[in-house]
Structure formats: structure tokens, C-alpha cells
Amino acid sequence: MRLLVTVGSHSFDELIEHVDKKEFHRFLWKSGFSQMTVQIGNGSYVPKLTYDKREGEKNEFLLEGINIFRFKSSLDEDFEKADIVVTHAGAGTTFQCLRRKKKIVTVVNANLMNNHQMEFAQFMYLSNYLEICKCVSNLEKHICECLKRERYETLPEPTTDHFLRDLDSLIDSGVIRHHREFNHITYLPNCSG
């Protein structure tokens, strides 16, 4: 199995340090994982526990491979290959994973100011879309919960109905003016005051 750890564009050194421990690697190996990919974003901590499994070498916790990077143009391939995604509580990453029907452990970054991620993660957890990990030291427990669960709720298919209704409302109210002859939209900010 493969584990993907992603923190988006923020730094989340506490999470990256946790997944860089021998104990965590041992846990993954014992749980049936063979690969781990770690996207570290803008963090200052760079994982040090990397290794190559040598031919014929026996080690009780060696994964077959660990891939580490800061950013790449697309995580699509990494999402597709992952059996479980451990992620910050970013909405974009969460929805990308849910669209692919991936099991998710969302780890809330308590160091972010105005922690909207906690509210989002709790809503998604209570709606049965994912596991929520409020403390990095409990990550293994939540990965185990993910492994036990056969399935989570799936997102409904996307529709344009709500967007088009809201866009029509904005056009009708004059906030957005659609220039049919030029086939473009102009945003008119509220300048009263």
C-alpha cells in the first residue's frame, strides 16, 4: 500500500517531523504499507530518515521507497496511487481526494492563525467523509481507523445549477454586468461610501 502525506503550500513541520520517525515507518510497515510520498511545502524541516532498500537486505521497518518533494505542478498521479492520504485540512486537497474516493486522515495544523481548518475538518468528519486527527501524536490511531473502515461517504456529482443560479442573481442585482455583445463579464465592486 501507499501513503501520501501532503501539507499544501503552508508549512506543517510538526506533521513532517512525525512521519520522519523510525517508529512511524515501523508502524507503516507493520500495517502493510510499502511506499510513502511526502510533500513538505514551505516547511523548514526536511525529512532525514530516507533510505534505499538494498538487494537482500532485511530490516524490520524498511519501506520499499520514500519520495520527498516541496512542490510539483500536479499531485494527480500521487493522489491516484495513494491508498490513504494524510493531509492538512485544506479544502482543495480534501475535495481532490474525495473525488477520487480516497481514504483521508486530515491533520489539523493548530499553528495556523484563525484556524478555519478545524471547522472545515470537523464538518467533513461529522459528515462521514474522513478521519480527523487533532493531535499529530495520534496519527497512527487515525490511520488504523481508516484501514478498518470499508468506506466513507462519497461526494455527490458536481453540478453547475447552483453556480449558474448564483451568477444569474449577481447579474440581476447589477454586481456583475454581462456584456453580451463582447461576450465577457465585468465585475463592478460596491463603491458606496
Q: Are residues 139 and 163 in the same domain?
A: no
| 8 A C-beta contact, residue 37 and residue 3 | yes
CATH classification of the domain holding 130: 3.40.50.2000
Integer CA distances (angstroms), 85 to 36, 132, 160, 180, 190, in order: 10, 12, 28, 44, 41
More confident: 121 or 117: 121
The average pLDDT across 53-71 equals: 74
Residue at 154 is within a domain: no
The average pLDDT across 81-94 equals: 94
What confidence tens digit (pLDDT) does each residue in 16-37 have?
Answer: 999 999 899 999 999 999 999 9
Residue at 153 is within a domain: no
Work out the pLDDT band at 159, boundaries 50, 70, 90: confident
Q: Are residues 48 and 140 in the same domain?
A: yes
Q: Are residues 42 and 72 in the same domain?
A: yes
| 8 A C-beta contact, residue 76 and residue 44 | no
Integer CA distances (angstroms), 57 to 42, 123, 166, in order: 34, 45, 60
User: In sequence order, what are the beta bridge partners of 106?
Assistant: 87, 132
Inform me whether the pLDDT recorded for 91 exceeds 80.
yes
Q: Are residues 83 and 171 in the same domain?
A: no
Q: Are residues 9 and 101 in the same domain?
A: yes
Q: Are residues 31 and 82 in the same domain?
A: yes
Residue 85 is placed in which grid cell?
492520504
| 8 A C-beta contact, residue 186 and residue 163 | no
Q: Are residues 85 and 138 in the same domain?
A: yes
Inform me whether the pLDDT recorded for 140 exceeds 80.
yes
Q: Which residues form the domain of 129?
A: 2-148
- pLDDT value at residue 60: 56
The average pLDDT across 44-53 equals: 76
Q: Are residues 48 and 139 in the same domain?
A: yes
Q: Are residues 73 and 143 in the same domain?
A: yes
Residue at 115 is within a domain: yes
